[in-house]
Chains A and B, each alone.
Chain A
């Protein structure tokens, strides 16, 4: 139990569907992240929010749309995805962006399959 909860854990969607991934952290952290994890590839940073402001958008296609309504919640809205978007989507949080150790606390991920 890392204090970061992601739902749903598994999601199957067609290319024309719209769905959302949800992340909630109970750690009082100020920074939240979305990472994409595909087989045989490094963790890819997608978005970073600090104090509910987006501070990094790592050239992610517009079919992925993040939302951070408050410092405890982070969403990833998905629409018109492609099969190559199938991956494990990991949410993480940290105390802040410039903290000493900057340790990330990860959720267990949402396994997405796009048909």
Chain B
């Protein structure tokens, strides 16, 4: 099976930078996803990492270290609208279907 761990809740200040960590234990790793879910809305895709390193996409970046079973999502220049739940999901080659962590609820305050 897969064990995916991420913090339950984080708070940060508007304009700041926040890093949301995700650790996992799995066999046959085949990619890691980050999704954003605002309250009452559908989860939406943010990023996909399958090779080690940093993927940057505007204010959001995602990092992966396969040897450490570790990823983080970095959010820069935080805005109030970034308050949401951030879901880490891991895919294994055998299944192709991602397994989700519990999600990290991020609260951005003025």
Contact = CB atoms under 8 A, between A and B. Distances in A.
A90 B48 contact: no
A41 B102 contact: yes
Given A45-B99, A102-B98, A4 B33 contact: no
Contacts of B4: 42
A85 interface: no
B97 to A, nearest CB: 6
Interface residues of B, number: 24
Identify which of A45, A98, A103 gathers the most chain B CB atoms within 10 Å of its CB: A103
B48 A43 contact: no
B33 A103 contact: yes
Interface of A: 2, 4, 33, 35, 40-43, 45, 48, 56, 90, 97-98, 101-109
Contacts of B100: 35, 42-43
A106 B46 CA distance: 13
Contacts of B95: 56
Contacts of A40: 8, 102
B7 interface: no
B96 A98 contact: yes
Contacts of B98: 102, 104
A108 B48 CA distance: 21
A56 B97 contact: yes
